[in-house]
A and B are shown apart, each in its own frame.
Chain A
């Protein structure tokens, strides 16, 4: 396990943007009404936000970032690092971080890079950006995390379509003398690389005519090789096997009594997973906020989106002790313990194309 800490770094602010278009799973007529109710009850996803054609992940992240910089009164010229974390980048090449750098008006001296991570992306991004700040001494940085996974799921695949929603987020991070450490525990297991996968369209299986062919993969599951394939049972088992020990190791490493934390934020994979982990770790479920009912599983964006959506008032008002845990595609998982000290958290920005 990679257990480490980064001190003298604070979260200055956080913002999120979601598309204005809402999709309700009660209208998902590909499956029966009874099945829809069971799906909503167990996954927790009632509604989700989805983009209109033509909107890219960077548009959502840009909307969140401009609002955040305005409220923080940060000058883009002072920002020295921009990291964009996503699995639905704007182009196959080049990286999206450069597009955002230019659009936001960051200086040419800035370090800009993409990280290709999904569900675990916010924790991985935060660990990377903090480490870079520590080694470079750069004082202000932006972590832009988002996904538009709705584009990847086939409507006639009941194992993916109802789950995924779209969102983009922005987190502003700065150096501050005396800021308490953030404790991290990052892990990965590439043996499960195909548990969540889009088989075609990359550089292993290049796009071909066959990529578009729909095939039946089970009851109510039809998709092509350009759609995401999700092995729900494998991912579920992986999460229950790996996430609780990862959390316990971080509690021990940081010397934290879990009960002393104010909130535990889990990647909003589905409600059943979050409830089961909460039980296994014996956490107080009243301290586990959920946003999946409104926004679905927004992949990399789900942890910061949940913070902004559910804890905005608290984060704006006073210091909050947080445990964040994110897990999924890769397979990749990680957690962080940190204490905020008064953040700037604007309301969720509704993105209209």
Chain B
């Protein structure tokens, strides 16, 4: 993937209005810092699909814990 984790975090921060800039670190547990729910999950899926053409499903998100996990997931699948 062309972008590093810092830019990835910036993209996520821009997408979720409630997210305070800077609060999200690679080691942060995203389900805690961003009030995770089913709608936010869909917003994340839409974001990575439009930005990187990467498919992420419900299982992927259940298995992921940290922001780094999300980044790795997307980076592995990006074409």
Q: Footprint of B on A, CB under 8 Å?
A: 35, 38-39, 42-43, 159, 218-219, 232-234, 236-237, 240-241, 272-273, 275-276, 279-280
Supposing A233-B57, A233-B58, A234-B58 touch, asked if A240 and B46 sit within 8 A by C-beta, the answer is yes
Supposing A237-B55, A237-B57 touch, asked if A35 and B37 sit within 8 A by C-beta, the answer is yes
Given contacts A218-B38, A233-B57, A236-B42, 8 further A-B contacts (CB under 8 A): A35-B37, A219-B37, A233-B38, A272-B46, A273-B46, A275-B46, A276-B50, A280-B49
Interface centre among B41, B43, B46, by most chain A C-beta atoms within 10 angstroms, is B46
- With A and B bound together, what is the CA distance between A243 and B76 in angstroms? 24
Q: Footprint of A on B, CB under 8 Å?
A: 37-43, 45-46, 49-50, 55, 57-58
Partner of A232, one of B40, B42, B50: B42
Whether the Cβ atoms of B58 and A42 lie closer than 8 Å is: no
Least CB distance, B61 to chain A, in whole angstroms: 8
Partner of B43, one of A159, A240, A272: A272
- With A and B bound together, what is the CA distance between A251 and B47 in angstroms? 25
Least CB distance, A8 to chain B, in whole angstroms: 39
Supposing A240-B49, A280-B49, A280-B50 touch, asked if A272 and B42 sit within 8 A by C-beta, the answer is yes
Whether the Cβ atoms of A276 and B38 lie closer than 8 Å is: no
The B contact surface, by secondary structure, is helix
Supposing A35-B37, A241-B55 touch, asked if A233 and B42 sit within 8 A by C-beta, the answer is yes
Whether the Cβ atoms of B37 and A42 lie closer than 8 Å is: no
Contacts of A236 in B (CB 8 A): 42, 45-46
Supposing A237-B45, A237-B55, A241-B55 touch, asked if A159 and B50 sit within 8 A by C-beta, the answer is no
Whether the Cβ atoms of A279 and B43 lie closer than 8 Å is: no
Closest to B50 in A: A279
- A-B complex: 6 closest residue pairs judged by Cβ atoms: A276-B46, A233-B58, A279-B50, A42-B39, A240-B49, A236-B42
- Selected A-B contacts with CB under 8 Å, 19 pairs: A35-B37, A39-B39, A42-B42, A42-B43, A218-B38, A232-B38, A232-B42, A233-B38, A233-B42, A233-B58, A234-B57, A234-B58, A236-B42, A240-B45, A240-B49, A241-B55, A272-B43, A276-B50, A280-B50
Contacts of B41 in A (CB 8 A): 233
- With A and B bound together, what is the CA distance between A159 and B46 in angstroms? 18
Contacts of A279 in B (CB 8 A): 50
Contacts of B42 in A (CB 8 A): 42, 232-233, 236, 272
Whether the Cβ atoms of A233 and B37 lie closer than 8 Å is: no
- With A and B bound together, what is the CA distance between A241 and B57 in angstroms? 12
Interface centre among B37, B42, B57, by most chain A C-beta atoms within 10 angstroms, is B42
Whether the Cβ atoms of B38 and A159 lie closer than 8 Å is: yes
Closest to A278 in B: B50
Contacts of B39 in A (CB 8 A): 38-39, 42-43
Closest to B38 in A: A232
Contacts of A35 in B (CB 8 A): 37
Contacts of B46 in A (CB 8 A): 236, 240, 272-273, 275-276
Contacts of B55 in A (CB 8 A): 237, 240-241
